[in-house]
Structure 1
């Protein structure tokens, strides 16, 4: 009888460990069509035999369309109430002036943890002082800033690096980790040796780029870069609907990483950066 109890406890313990290791957070899910997009995403995940512990649902604001921006942000927040797995990643446009700052404050009051900015799609210059002002304010409010980093605009890496230097209290997640110009980010280990230059506020999602790099001639250098920027600074992303969570997880599994490194990227880092284990769902990210 005692052995049976011990075996049962061991099984429960191992099951808990397995569940913890299987947790996945997908930080990069575009919710273009509201509820329809969420259902399509979750259906795609289920049809692939996967489970997703949580995902970041992204909206991107359009310049000058203030009422539309607010309505779309509200839609995301409402969807998060219907789908507990969804973490709303709202948006403002940095060129919308005081209206953008007002919307940040409103989002903060509603418990939003992150915003998304996209220089190419939203048509702004990441080196513009208005962008810096918005990012600084987001950091003061405890909002994480996701910023596109696919290098489809000239100077993308350099501008984002300087933005992070100028807004040291803001935690950034640069999406795609520079895409095929990821080599630039090997500057970080050197930058960290300069006293007082850099805070630990630069993080990356590896969406899309990891799919390209896995089993490619770039794989070894990509993994080297991942370790140079710091495994603790990396999170998983799919970039749905362009790519799927299945592709993202499969690529991560094929990269020559340790299981501990994969576990951090799948869940643990996002949990820390976005305070995902806050049961109330209302505290801001502490990252750190």
Structure 2
């Protein structure tokens, strides 16, 4: 096939089928972290695209909020109004959260939007440049507890250690339900140590690396985990595949996987009391065939090159491809799957346009990354 993009799209469709095979029978899916709007970094979440993806993958509902919008001043008012309009348009599929800026009347904006139908609060300390010891957080948590709505807070890259300060706020307002986004990878071990076992505190699964989710499952019980994509940054089928395969590798039962996929978030959305967390079920020691370890290493090296739109001058993708020739590890099928994905990614990377429409270039780069990401998920989550 001559068209690299067409080939990439066909491969994605094949992995859609793989995701469906991984799902427990009759499983509902509730995405606890999605965005609609346009971010100042250029990323856009489009209503029709999100709803179409929900229908395609059987996602019944989502928590949804705006991005770090160009018109975010004052206090995300315009973005929050769009969020409420999207939610109304969706007929209940999209559950709106109000996004707040601590420096621009957060309580006034939260109250306004909650009165208009918002069902949760979104906070982003990196984007809005505040720390978790900020006293302006206290009235927000107090309001969330009073209104019985959850708070979702960014817990991913770009933050200093946050566990102690966030833990103190949680202790002060134990009735406020909290979702720590991106599995809390900014301070994962300390967050799990501080907040693990606390009913009403959750971690979402929107991460790039399967190792982060395997690390999470060994530290908190499945009752504290909610499936999330971080659309439009996270995309299918990788988002579901990484969550499903790591949950299986961590030893979760079908019922526990169902709760991660939807049950825990359904209870949050309904304002129901959370389940008491059980003991963590994850693995303490991670092992994998050497060829998969090599592939993962090379793909980890390739990812930042691709994100910064650099050519693969080092040849790391070629090294990963060469590692798929190892026929001694007993996983020929998985190595062939990885090889097919990486061959398509190589062709896409080589065809990455250096000039032209910026949106087209970004879309091409993201399609290439999606292939590499799927290959890496397979490499990390194939049992030894």
- 3-state SS, counterpart of residue 121 of structure 2: strand
Deviation at 1:177, TM superposition (A): 1.9
- Residue 81 of structure 2 is aligned to residue 77 of structure 1: no
Equivalenced residue count is 242
Conserved? CA contact 1:149–1:157, under 8 Å: no
Corresponding residue number in structure 1 for 2:262: 267
Quote the Cα distance in structure 1 between the aligned partners of 2:236 and 2:170. Answer: 28
* Inter-partner Cα distance in structure 1 for 2:79 and 2:100: 10
Corresponding residue for 2:140?
134
Query: 4+ residue runs of structure 1 moved beyond 6 angstroms?
Result: 61-64
Root-mean-square deviation (CA), in Å?
2.9
Measure, in 2, the Cα distance between the counterparts of 1:205 and 1:64: 25
Q: Which digits, 9 at most, give the CA deviation of each residue in 1:32-82, with x for residues without a partner?
A: 249961212234455xx422111121225789823x622221211111111
CA distance in 2, matches of 1:40, 1:64: 23
2:128 maps to 122
Mapped contact 2:164–2:194 kept (Cα < 8 A)? no
> CA distance change for structure 1 residues 220 and 155 in 2, over 3 Å: closer, same or farther?
closer
Name which structure has the greater RCO, CA cutoff 8 Å, separation 6+.
1
Tell me the secondary structure at the aligned position of residue 134 of structure 1.
helix
Q: Closer, same or farther in 2 for the Cα pair 1:105/1:37, shift >3 Å? A: same
Q: Give TM-score scaled by structure 2 length.
A: 0.57
Gapped regions of structure 2 (runs ≥ 5): 1-22, 275-384
Task: Quickly say closer, same or farther: Cα 1:220–1:56, change in 2 above 3 A.
Answer: closer
CA distance in 1, matches of 2:25, 2:151: 27
2:26 paired residue among 1, 7, 21: 21
Asked if 1:58 corresponds to 2:65, the answer is yes
Q: Is the partner of 1:274 in helix, strand or coil?
A: helix
- Under a length normalisation based on structure 1, what TM-score does the superposition of the two structures give? 0.74
| Distance in 1 (alpha carbons) for counterparts of 2:223 and 2:186 | 21
- Please list, as runs of the form range in 1=range in 2, the aligned pairs for 1:103-252 lying within 5 A after superposition: 103-179=109-185, 181-188=187-194, 200-208=199-207, 211-213=208-210, 216=211, 220-225=214-219, 229-252=220-243
Structure 1 gaps of 5+ residues are 1-17, 193-198, 276-284
